[in-house]
A and B are shown apart, each in its own frame.
Chain A
Amino acid sequence: MTQPPISQPVTGSSATYSTRSYLRDGLLIVSAALMAVTLYMVFMWVPTEQNLGVSQRIFYFHVPLGWIGMLSIVVVAVASLMHLITGKEKWDSLAYATAELGVIFATLILVTGAIWARPVWGVWWTWDAKLTTTLVLWFIYVGYLMIRAYGPSGTQGKRYASVIALIGAIDSPIIYKATDWWRTAHPERNVPSGLASEMLLTLLVAMVTFTVLYAYLLVERYSLRKSESDLDELHQRTA
């Protein structure tokens, strides 16, 4: 097999690396600016909710984290499906990068939810349908990463992990509909009629902010995954 010349990058071109670097910097700056705006709105601008007090402000982080956690598993599943169909490495890299982010976001969903529940419900945790299905999502993410770390190496391990991701994606609509299907203590997802416009705007800004932050982290982790692949390839050539 003909090997690429060593003077060239293993994959991609220098222009691609440069573009990715600009993209990372841009997303980081936008994310930081939006986060500053979000923090100002959450702590200084939005009124305190009458029934829940300041603990309601936890939702401005908890709800966007939940959205990103669910988005991540869908991205992992789509990328895994494409990897199974096409066998291309880039899909697997995307799935792996997103799964790692998914673990972080799912962990934060559970932790922030527990901290909110303590003063409001009086308990850190209850086996509520929404909470339990979210915990299952966390286990799915961890299972995916464990398969990658300790499962068969090479193509077989990637295929096993892809199947785990596809099965795990079934949990996403279950979490989403949990408040409809079961009697649950978790606030339901109806559109409130009397929601203060400041609260709605703050939530929307927080959702956008976390989505940009997620995009930044994804590009960063995807780049790292590419570097890992490049390094593996170089190790094989030097062996």
Chain B
Amino acid sequence: MNFIKELRRGLGLRASTVIVLVALALTVSTLLTTVGAFDGQPQTAPSTIPEPSEHANDPEANLPFLFAVYMITWGAFFAYIFYVSRRQREMQGEIVALKRALDQREQAEAQSQSES
């Protein structure tokens, strides 16, 4: 609900409503249909695709592939979150420094005006 409030505050009521409705419609339709991917049986493969490789009957044979998927996905998310957080920190520091510099400049200008 906080996210909805944040969207509403940032983008306005009408815009937030449009986004939420689109997201809801997509969620419902996708959930109802994409679960088909779990049928377990791949569709008939085109002729360009060879037969499944060796160890096809061994359920544990493909563990390295599963491990690779999870490592890559997690690695990508952590790297991105790290990058965004660091960039945010750097920018906040730069903003504070610039505001301070502007403050000082305005004070100096005001002082010179009062002296003249």
Contact = CB atoms under 8 A, between A and B. Distances in A.
A1 to B, nearest CB: 16
A59 B18 CA distance: 30
Contact of A58 (B33, B65, B87, B95): B65
A192 B59 CA distance: 22
A122 B33 contact: no
Contacts of B101: 238
Given A53-B58, A231-B94, A119 B65 contact: yes
Contact of B65 (A7, A115, A199): A115
B41 interface: yes
Contact of B72 (A108, A127, A183): A108
Contact of A186 (B32, B43, B76): B43
A215 B44 CA distance: 36
A90 B66 CA distance: 40
Interface string A25-67: 0110000000000000000000011111111111101110111
A91 B42 CA distance: 40
A20 B6 contact: yes
Interface in A173-231: 179, 183-192, 195, 199-200, 203-204, 207, 211, 213, 215, 217, 219-224, 227-228, 230-231
B73 to A, nearest CB: 6
A55 B65 contact: yes
Given A61-B70, A116-B65, A200-B35, A121 B102 contact: no
Contacts, number: 215
Interface in B79-96: 80-81, 84-85, 87-88, 91-92, 94-95
Main SS class of interface, A: helix
Contacts of A132: none
A51 B43 contact: no
A67 B102 contact: no
A126 B49 contact: yes
Given A53-B60, A116-B65, A190 B36 contact: yes
Interface in B19-62: 19, 22-23, 26-27, 30-46, 48-53, 58-62
Which of A53, A55, A186: most chain B Cβ within 10 A?
A53
Interface stretch (A69-77, A141-149, A150-158, A160-168): A69-77
Contact of B38 (A59, A111, A222): A59
B2 A26 contact: yes
Contacts of B59: 48, 50, 53-54
B102 A207 contact: no
13 contacts: A7-B103, A65-B73, A94-B11, A121-B42, A121-B45, A187-B38, A187-B39, A188-B43, A190-B33, A195-B35, A195-B39, A207-B31, A227-B91
